Structure 1
């Protein structure tokens, strides 16, 4: 994929200003970083605040702005350059903007905004990671969909994404589950109830263990049997794992998400000894109350626990083993871990251990945290049974959508498929549209709300654009001649300016690991387009005007579909 040559007004301004200031040590990169979008477009389309320049030029910021204004020739890209106090404001010339942006979208189609920034470098993304033998609940939704968006974005920007579902398929919870199964379960009940029966047994174990602490030791003994290869213990572990994977796959199929690797924690069991040996060789391992730790007091953190008293490994041990394996296997330039914010300290600790082991690529390990999902202020918990199953949420959303379609558009072709696309889109967009570090209180009402700034609103706007283009039999092919001056009207120009921002917003979402940036952008685009649709009739007698407006409609349709695709949401052509 070649790097697309998008018109970059920030770059043009940076070169103009740095050219005027050529005899100073203010370069184009510094200017580029200072440029911003004014809060009010009446001031202009781009602004250069001159406060930081005053430190170098030893002049008052308003004076710098005034002097720059007299020395910059706005043509051909800018209609005018004006000052407002310490700000130098640039207003874009409409026709070059319209010609370039719409022409480029017609030329590139769905690859508009794609760039070769990664140059084939690999980015490993660890996401979703539900626990085997536990329900796949709404608490897993954030990691699953955020990770999927990052996977899509980095591929779009020329990296090679490697998606890893690091399944929680190891640990003492399996000892607890086997104990519960042996005491209160049966093969027939598990075969009938599947994951819901396993959850019932898991919850019952914790309820009973509060009154009978000996159950915890019994559970530890069953897990030791798994670790030691006991035939019965391994058979039950594999059976529970198969039941879970079938449920997980149903949910992933509904979401349209797949992974490059499903290697869970158990995959790294035979790689843990090498990690422990290396830590010993590098004099990093210490004994503390019988356990093996790496002391991190110098770095303001509690010790990183590597082995328990009984010699069994922990999350950190397996995470270090996994990171070493992934670096060797994929030679990644960056490894992202999309997990809850509550795990931040855990990642800081083992990232530091990898650094202390002498691996300079420890700096390329990045925790991408997100907020908690709770039920009316209470944390989701499998132990207490306080969960909402993700499959139940998705199927309910699909059913609600189908009911709306049956009521409003019963003759819609392929309505079952469209109901799935829209219902799932509502849930996914709802999870992605808030800043990822914010805690979310789950409610059925909000999750299934299709009104306002939602996924279905974007999908409906896309379908509206498709409908207009179908009526006009407009294909939007490259080489369509149109007169840009026909779009020099407020509503149309506002849409073009928003279209222009698409490549920049995709890069910002990647840089900040923040899918909500794309969500916000798409809402802005849809709102601007719907205002244009309200203000400007597209199919009119003036064929030149109609053609120009159809080009604009086609561009909006293209970017809505591309943006929704990056979010993992389908873009139906009819609704």
Structure 2
């Protein structure tokens, strides 16, 4: 069992400002529904925004466009809160509402009033909105308009110095062993030529030696103690390791399309951790144990039944001490509204204690700190064996995709097959990792991850490439002025309805910080586009019909690309197989 290396690295430590600029409201189709309900319920339209949502597209039957959740607004005054009472109120509300030029039909569901929009208006408005907003489609929505502009600090990835994106954070035992080990097993030339690999090999060697020799452990402890004391020679060596490590990380992060605003792991705060210890002592929060360590009592009865160790008996800091220093420093530096930590779920208890200590220290902003945890990946192997390093995983995905592409009889000759394989392979890994709850463990299978059909990143890339190819082949005949009466087929309506719900998906992901909602949306969009193409061909259709269908596929591709980029995927523009071209 190994922690997922790419899941750690897709989120990185940085500063993110969330804002909206000049807001466009969501399509006025929803506003028509707001107005109808507002008049009958005698409520301001803005009070209804979160009570109305687009209906999920059904493969079996046509569905309405919007649904209003009656129970979210109408208080059931009856003492009997059974479903019939809610349904009765739902029916009565539906009877009071009248169709107009926008709302074509009103029906009811379990606790919902459903609204079907005039089909030509649906096509016209959705397509106009998609192309008007471009990359900001879905973000320029009333769902986001009520949110204030916020500054959010996100700490993520957190690879260890010299550990090639290995699991865990930098801990004193690791940096101490590495420092002591390099003095015995290190080689400066090898460090320059392949820094992370060499430092990792040094760590493996010294770790093995420490298991047999207690003196090695003492040397490691002494190294770390000198590091915290800012010993010039030891500090210079650690900085040497850090610089080489970050240089390698930047190269690997570039493959992921990840850019950092700042590199400052918790090890950066070793010196400031001593100030934290003084603050804890001044507030009467620091207690000494029999072993000589210093702890903060977190128990309800203050009986040390639950405590957090913040200082070793030799006076050196621990991981949590440095995290306390980092949190305080970052809040002072950025004055952010929220701080989010992205790490594996084994550290849940650590962050609970971190936030609790901050509160005890009097920092009310600790309430705005959040830990987003992720699970473990089981069964991840390359052909060489177990995989624990991100670069190994990326290389393996690229290698397997190259072999798949070479084995396919219909594969076109590509200008840059290595780059294509890289993009598809990374998409495959990201989608597999983001399909479920971040905190869930899952079984990894290369065959499943790299399937070209089904709910995979490979399928998303192929779909985008096919749609892009369609646009390029029909470039000369493209027109923005289309007849929406040509988009009344059930397959076209399904695509339009799905595009209508994109803002809700983005909002949901922003609320619970789970990318699975976006993944599910994009996979459904790809399947709907594929089905639509089978029954709504562009080539061979009448010019007016071809133009309308092409515009629909353009909109689907645009939203698909937007969503893929949000997940860290670079959309592929050329299809891998000739039979994947849509015409």
- Show CA shifts across 1:483-532 (max 9, x none): 22211110000000111111111111111101111111100100000000
- Please tell me whether residue 21 in structure 1 is matched to residue 41 in structure 2: yes
1:327-476 aligned at under 5 Å gives the runs 327-375=331-379, 387-406=387-406, 407=408, 408-473=410-475
1:113 maps to 138
Partner of residue 156, structure 1: none
Match of 2:163? 134
Contact 1:18 1:28 in 2 (8 A): no
Please state whether the residue corresponding to 1:55 is helix, strand or coil.
coil
Structure 1 residues 86 and 273, CA gap change in structure 2 (3 angstroms): closer
Q: Within 5 A, what are the aligned runs for 1:259-278?
A: 259-278=260-279
> Is the contact made by 1:226 and 1:233 (CA closer than 8 Å) also made in structure 2?
yes
Structure 2 residue 26 is matched with structure 1 residue 6: yes
Inter-partner Cα distance in structure 1 for 2:110 and 2:564: 40
Output the CA distance in 1 between the equivalents of 2:27 and 2:214.
67
The 8 Å contact of residues 127 and 337 in structure 1, kept in 2 or not, is answered as yes
Moved more, 199-208 or 506-515: 199-208
Separation in 1, partners of 2:500, 2:449? 31
Q: Deviations over 1:165-223 (max 9, x none)?
A: xxx55623122123333444544555566433332332333334334344322211121
CA RMSD of aligned residues (A): 3.0
Q: Provide the residue aligned with 1:538 in structure 2.
A: 538
For residues 219 and 292 of structure 1, what CA distance do their matches in structure 2 show? 21
Q: Is the 8 A contact 1:337 1:366 kept in 2?
A: yes
In 2, Cα distance between the equivalents of 1:299 and 1:568?
47
Q: 3-state DSSP class of the match of 2:201?
A: helix
SS of the aligned residue for 1:361 comes to helix
Aligned partners of 2:228 and 2:271 also within 8 Å: no
Q: What aligned pairs does 1:151-170 form with structure 2 within 5 A after superposition?
A: 168=169
Against the structure 1 CA distance between its residues 36 and 94, is the aligned structure 2 distance closer, same or farther, given a 3 Å change threshold? closer
Residue correspondences, number: 536
Q: TM-score, normalised by structure 1?
A: 0.85
After superposition, give the CA deviation of every residue in 1:254-297 in whole Å (9 maximum; x if it has no partner): 11111000012232233223322332333322223322222111
Using a 3 Å threshold, how does the CA distance of structure 1 residues 191 and 49 change in structure 2: closer, same or farther? Answer: closer
Measured against aligned partners, the alpha-carbon deviations of 1:411-439 in whole angstroms (never above 9, x if no partner) come to: 22333332222222222222222221111
The alpha-carbon deviation at position 336 of structure 1 amounts to 0.8
CA distance in 2, matches of 1:518, 1:476: 29
Partner of 2:289: 288
Q: Which stretch has the larger CA shift, 440-449 or 565-574?
A: 440-449
Tell me whether 343-352 or 522-531 shows the greater mean CA deviation. Answer: 343-352
With 57-66 and 545-554 compared, the bigger mean Cα shift is at 57-66
Q: 2:528: which partner in 1?
A: 528
Larger mean CA deviation between 178-187 and 431-440 belongs to 178-187
User: Could you tell me how far apart the structure 2 residues matched to 1:206 and 1:17 are?
Assistant: 68
Match of 1:429, SS state, is helix
TM-score, normalization by structure 2? 0.83
Shift of 1:299: 8.7
Partner of 1:66: 91
Q: Deviations for 1:453-481, whole angstroms, at most 9, x for unmatched residues?
A: 1112111111111121112116977xx22
1:297 paired residue number: 299
When residues 57 and 485 of structure 1 are mapped into structure 2, their CA distance, relative to the original with a 3 A threshold, is farther
CA distance in 2, matches of 1:106, 1:30: 27
Q: Say whether the 8 Å CA contact 1:522–1:563 is kept in structure 2.
A: yes
Aligned twin of 2:118: 93
Shift of 1:571: 1.0
Distance 2:192 2:364 in 1: 49
Question: Unpaired segments of 5 or more residues in structure 2?
Answer: 1-20, 576-583
Q: Is the 8 A contact 1:17 1:28 kept in 2?
A: no
- Spell out the pairing of 1:177-196 with structure 2 (5 A cutoff): 177-187=178-188, 190=191, 194-196=195-197
Matches within 5 A, 1:548-559: 548-559=548-559
Q: Partner of 1:328: helix, strand, or coil?
A: helix
Note the 1:207-226 alignment, pairs <5 A: 207-226=208-227
Structure 2 distance, partners of 1:123, 1:366, is 11
Moved more, 465-474 or 438-447: 438-447
Q: What CA distance in whole angstroms lies between the structure 1 residues aligned with 2:188 and 2:253?
A: 27
Contact 2:33 2:103 in 1 (8 A): no
Task: Name 2:16's counterpart in structure 1.
Answer: none
31-40 vs 236-245, which deviates more?
A: 31-40
Partner of 1:495: 495
Q: In the superposition, relative to structure 1, how do residues 306 and 386 fare at CA in structure 2: closer, same or farther (>3 Å)?
A: farther
Q: How far 1:536 moved relative to its partner?
A: 0.6
2:64 to 44, 51, 56: 44
Q: Alignment partner of 1:83: what SS?
A: strand
Could you say what secondary structure the match of 1:63 adopts? helix
Name structure 1 gaps, 5 residues minimum.
Answer: 141-167, 379-384
SS at match of 1:81: strand
- The answer to whether residue 221 in structure 2 is matched with residue 238 in structure 1 is no
Decide whether the 8 Å contact of 2:355 with 2:366 is kept in 1.
yes
